[in-house]
Amino acid sequence: MAIKRIAINTGGGDAPGLNGVIRAVALSAYREGWEVVGIREGYRGLLDDDPELLPVLDPDRVRGIMHLGGTILGTTNRGDPFNFPVMVDGKPEPRDMSKKLVDRFKELGFDALVALGGDGSMSLATRLLKAGLPRVIGVPKTIDNDLKGTDITFGFETAVSTATEALDRLHTTAQSHRRVMVVEVMGRDAGWIALHAGIGGGADVILIPEIPFRLESVYEKLHRRYQRGRQFAIVVVAEGAKLQDGAAVYKGEKGQFREHAQLGGISEYLAREIGRATGYETRNVVLGHLQRGGSPVTYDRVLAQRLGCAATRYLKETTESGLVAMRGGRTQLVPFSEVVGGTRGVDANDELVLTARALGLCFGDEPPGTFVA
């Protein structure tokens, strides 16, 4: 069926590059003669009967947005249409709004949806296809870079460069005060940001969810370093890093409309324990949403343009649904079945892990006596 009208939305946590993809889809689809309509705030624009929530994205509407962080469409991680918060007597109640969504999508004459998101958004896309949406093309977004089926997601390079710049800054103040600085970066299930920023920013310790750690191993690494005369250190920890007994540190609980409990606080815990056990003065910094905000770096801008134009191309050249993945440096349309269910974590034998170990970095899983003075 020839495409005439498509919808586009952004779901889950934002990431630098969302606006770039929106622009690329809008411009490339316009050249095909299609109309592109934005759905605001995940799927809310289709569920609330407010035309303001469905802006037409013609070339004028997407001018000058490529370098801007955030998303002109807004996003949410509380917008699951199968468990949608509907206000009843001033309180949000969960409702399955999938039928209304599919009906409205068809009434509005959309031939396909381009969904920008991570694993949560791609699972929703799969369920909505089953519920009757005609076609969905996913575009891989997440600063965590943990989406299965693709080598890279947009937003990741920007987050890594923000984290690396923070490490550079923390290095100088750590050195001045002879302190250990513990830097908490994002990464719920995957330690890609910690690993890249840790290596690029010259950290001494990298703690990630995939490699459970022992505090004693971290203490030993720090002692060896201080004994060698380098009397300051940088520890990078992903928010989802776990101790070997499986314990992670949380700030908030799962909610009725929140799929995941809110992580946060592991750097504070580590700073306290390191200070207490080693006697070295220790401070912690949480980079948090700084990693999600701001302008995308050039790599993410270019990636966003490639992925957005590829989404249009696959809509035109195939009749399939799936994720526009990057594999081996080229885009490829990958079935959602290869993408949903689980995340793509760091393998313990990944070359980057081996590189870091070869450089003497500590992951907190080393046996005693590993770090020689």
Active site residues: 144
242 binds ligand F6P (CB under 6 A): no
User: Nearest approach, Cβ of 36 to ligand F6P (angstroms)?
Assistant: 26
Q: Which is nearer to ligand F6P, 71 or 278 (CB)?
A: 71
142 binds ligand F6P (CB under 6 A): yes
State the pairing for strand pair 180-185/233-238: parallel
Mark 248-287 with x for binding to ligand F6P (rule: CB under 6 A) and - for no binding: ---------------x------------------------
Binder of ligand F6P out of 40, 44, 148, 188 (CB under 6 A): 188
CA angle 330, 334, 336 (to 5 degrees): 150
Q: Which is nearer to ligand F6P, 28 or 71 (CB)?
A: 71
186 binds ligand F6P (CB under 6 A): yes
Contact of 261 with 252, CB cutoff 8 Å? yes
Dist. CA 244–CA 247, nearest whole Å: 7
User: Nearest approach, Cβ of 341 to ligand F6P (angstroms)?
Assistant: 16
State the pairing for strand pair 330-334/322-327: antiparallel
User: Nearest approach, Cβ of 263 to ligand F6P (angstroms)?
Assistant: 5
User: Nearest approach, Cβ of 186 to ligand F6P (angstroms)?
Assistant: 4
Q: Which residue is nearest to ligand F6P (CB)?
A: 186
Burial class (CB in 10 A: 0-12, 13-18, 19+), 257: middle
305 binds ligand F6P (CB under 6 A): no
144 binds ligand F6P (CB under 6 A): yes
Q: Which is nearer to ligand F6P, 222 or 285 (CB)?
A: 285
326-330, Cβ contacts within 8 angstroms, sequence gap of 24 or more: 326/140, 326/150, 326/151, 326/152, 327/150, 327/151, 328/151
Indicate the residue type of 156: F
Binder of ligand F6P out of 18, 133, 136, 143 (CB under 6 A): 143
# chain residues binding ligand F6P, by CB under 6 A = 11
Distance of CA 11 to the CA centre of its chain: 11
User: Nearest approach, Cβ of 366 to ligand F6P (angstroms)?
Assistant: 26
Q: Which residues bind ligand F6P (CB under 6 A)?
A: 13, 77, 118, 142-144, 186-188, 239, 263
